[in-house]
Amino acid sequence: MKIRRIPGGVTAAKGFRASCCAAGIKYQGRTDMAMIAADVPCAVAGTFTSNLVKAAPVLWDMDVVYKQKQAQAVVVNAGIANAATGEAGMDLCRKSADCAAAELGIPASSVLLGSTGVIGPVIPLDRISCGITQLAASLSDTREAGTAASKAIMTTDTVNKEFAVAFDLPSADGSGTVTVHLGGMSKGSGMIHPNMCTMLGYITTDCAIDQSLLQHALSAVVKDTFNMITVDGDTSTNDTLLVLSSALAGNAPILEADESYSLFRDALYSVCRDLAVTMAGDGEGATHLIEMRVCNADTKENAQALARSVAGSSLVKAMVFGKDANCGRILCALGYAGPYFDPAVIELYMNGESDTICFYKDGRVQEFDEDRALKVMSEHDVRFTADMKMGTCEATAWGCDLTYDYVKINGDYRS
Amino acid sequence: MKIRRIPGGVTAAKGFRASCCAAGIKYQGRTDMAMIAADVPCAVAGTFTSNLVKAAPVLWDMDVVYKQKQAQAVVVNAGIANAATGEAGMDLCRKSADCAAAELGIPASSVLLGSTGVIGPVIPLDRISCGITQLAASLSDTREAGTAASKAIMTTDTVNKEFAVAFDLPSADGSGTVTVHLGGMSKGSGMIHPNMCTMLGYITTDCAIDQSLLQHALSAVVKDTFNMITVDGDTSTNDTLLVLSSALAGNAPILEADESYSLFRDALYSVCRDLAVTMAGDGEGATHLIEMRVCNADTKENAQALARSVAGSSLVKAMVFGKDANCGRILCALGYAGPYFDPAVIELYMNGESDTICFYKDGRVQEFDEDRALKVMSEHDVRFTADMKMGTCEATAWGCDLTYDYVKINGDYRS
């Protein structure tokens, strides 16, 4: 196995420390701020929300990533999004970065910021400042510190999300190989829809890699992972995914799209996919993960559009919640997705752990055994496949069911 | 008042009769089939679902409307959609039309068909045939017959939908004016999303009007009415909107886009708008109608896209259900709608019966009195306005809140 899953998250790679604290920004009785700090300046790459309305920390981070292309720390808070806050929100970003820079002894332009929570209010500066001081004082490179940070950025998430991998690359001195690490954490449960990363996600690596290749790998991987999950079709104002590289692993730096680059990109894909799928399954109120695989499509883009349409359909989501194999809805959601296909030739399947049921072919919904279908629909991960019979391209999208609890959570989120 | 609301629906115009019966197609203990029959061959116009997967009766009707351009009867059933039924479904359409044609003494190519309900099963021919015989035998031109027909086509609808108007046009003999009637019925509650009509709707008129102008008026009106409502983002396989003209009012036939045409189009708009808004407010499980008005946009298309994005947002819908003025979500939904705007200059309002609250301007969410906001959010019709400050175009979209009952209804629809 070239890429090995290892325990941990953002502190798995060499040169990264993390911390968290309870700053009382909105939540009480829990941690609500996290910091990641690197021992050295890092190459940084990022993707951001496609929403025209971008929260202040998103605008701040875009500036750092696109202009500086390097960073050394990340400060994140949960509870208030610092979105739709105008100049006051940008001012808070500047002061937060100044504060972290002073505590860490780095330039303010090397500090990345992230916020998640309710749109509108401005975060009290004194709580952020006080939080940053605590965060800087408690940084640790232990696995536990990374895990605690992943918990501090949660909002309506029910589980924290962190994954890490290790893989081997040629060493810088040419004497053999070195082990490289890549790990990340993310939060996201509602206001999730594929259009640039769709949540807060932070990934660290000790792999030495050129910054433009780092951005290239991230942009490629996002399309197949974070952009393929949907909870409710709402693209947030705050979505941010960042990857920082400390280059401390001792590998021969990746400077071109060679074999080492492919391995790095595969490792990045592995962590991003696990984070993304876990987020989809932890969608607000969810009781099932929905996995929609489209195969034999004419183009990758069409396969993605078809898969996302089904995973995002309210009627499919409600049907999965009810364990009701009302499978015509899957055909319907493919039909309004946009790409052309021939309804007379495609085939649709539900895929259980040990059972596969074809429920549509030859232009008609097929008769199937309801007990077998109920068994498949009762699994936590409910999987469907559409065989488009047009080509060789495929894509998978992930979502979750639509439940009473989604309505409850979002009918009264502010209080 | 040039256009006057009158009681009734599909039997309000001269030359139309209606009937209904309990054919036991899926539902028990209620009517589930309806017929509209005209005394004379009618000009017909229609719009149909944009879903690539079109139900058999949609394909049948498209053929009649686009090729024959005239029709004399409509047969509708509720309970089973006759979608994803392949050749068996088309065969059922042919046999149903033959049966109705024989009963009514008209060509089968003058019979329009409509079905709504679960996707997949084939409707038993004997029940449809038996139903058609009953329908043909009980046709009546009374207001009550029209109302009974509008009830027979309901599925998860909680109220029947019918509206009618009267207006005056120059008479054919040039001696003065005659009164012209236009009325319609529709059903639709779930699987509703703007992309061609989004439900079953049938409109009749005695206005003498050229068939191509009839189609032109319908296509124009649909964009501002049925295409501006959304319940769940799912565009059905069966959406059909038809208008039949008996030309029996005695008006001078409308042959060009003159003043009479404008009046006819306004009357058609009036009935379509009332049907559409009633459907949005009767969305599955809905407790509120949501009306989103976008004004001062740069183009009509952009105004429509912005308004629809807000009316269709799961987070806005859940917020309205919870009477929680978490208004940043409206800004967020505008932001991912697609059209460009400047978040720093737009203004957002909630509009109550006797109170208007500005909740966003100068690039920030404004402070507002929560008690006033709660009062506005407690009204049945919850209205928001976005002033884009870009031009003079406007559009309104209608939707409904997302409730526990939507999930309940759609989690177990088949049983």
H-run or E-run covering B398: strand B393-400
Which of A119, A334, A415 lies at the smallest CB-CB distance from B332? A119
pLDDT given for residue B289 in this prediction? 92
Which one of B50, B82, B234 makes the best mutation probe of the A interface by having the most chain A beta carbons within 10 Å?
Answer: B234
Catalytically annotated residue among B11, B31, B85, B198? B198
Task: Report the amino acid identity of residue A272.
Answer: C
CB atoms B234 and A121 under 8 Å: no
Q: Which residues of A touch B312 (CB under 8 A)?
A: 233
Q: In what order do the strands lie in the sheet with B347-351?
A: B364-365, B356-361, B347-351, B381-387, B289-297, B393-400
Average pLDDT over residues B289-309: 95
Q: What is the mean pLDDT of residues B296-315?
A: 93
Active site members of A = 198
Instruction: Give percent of chain B with pLDDT exceeding 70.
Output: 95
CB contact under 8 A, B364 and A86: yes
The closest of B190, B213, B159, B125 to B414, measured between CA atoms, is B190
Q: What is the pLDDT, as a whole number, of residue B378?
A: 93
- Average pLDDT in chain B: 91
Three-state SS for B209?
strand
Q: In terms of pLDDT, which residue wins out, B311 or B406?
A: B311
Q: What number of residues does chain B have?
A: 415
Q: What is the pLDDT of residues B28-85, one digit of tens each?
A: 999 999 999 999 999 999 999 888 889 999 999 999 999 999 999 999 999 999 998 9
Q: Give the strand pairing for B381-387 and B289-297.
A: parallel
Locate tokens 């629906």: which residue? Answer: B9
Per-block mean pLDDT, blocks of 10 residues, chain A (415 long) = 92 98 94 98 93 92 96 96 93 98 98 92 95 98 97 89 96 95 88 53 96 96 89 76 96 96 96 91 85 97 94 88 86 91 95 92 91 92 96 94 77 57
A408 interfacial to chain B (CB closer than 8 Å) = yes
Contact B332 A51 (CB under 8 A): yes
- Residue of B89, B234, B318 with shortest CB distance to A315: B234
**Chain centre to alpha carbon of residue A275:** 5
Q: What is the pLDDT of residues B259-284, one digit of tens each?
A: 999 999 999 999 999 999 988 888 77
First vs last Cα of chain B: how many Å apart? 48
Cβ-contact A11, A17 below 8 angstroms:
yes
Interface subset of A 24-53, CB within 8 angstroms of B: 50-53
pTM of the model: 0.85
- Does the beta-carbon distance from B81 to A333 stay under 8 Å? no
Say whether B198 is catalytic. Answer: yes
Q: Do A363 and B86 touch (CB under 8 A)?
A: yes
Could you tell me if A32 and A23 are in contact, meaning their C-beta atoms sit under 8 angstroms apart? yes
* Chain B interface includes A59 (CB < 8 A): no
Domains and CATH numbers, chain A: 4-281 (3.60.70.12), 289-411 (3.10.20.340)
CA distance A8 to chain B (A): 33
Closest chain B CA to residue A321: B411
Express each pLDDT in B190-245 by its tens digit: 655 544 334 899 999 999 999 999 999 999 999 999 888 876 666 788 889 999 99
Per-position DSSP letters for A52-80, written without gaps between them: SS--HHHHHHHHIIIII-EEEEEEEEEEE
Residue A314 with chain B: CB contacts under 8 Å: 232-234, 314, 406, 410
Residues with Cβ < 8 Å from A324, sequence gap 6 or more? Answer: A377, B411, B412, B413, B414, B415
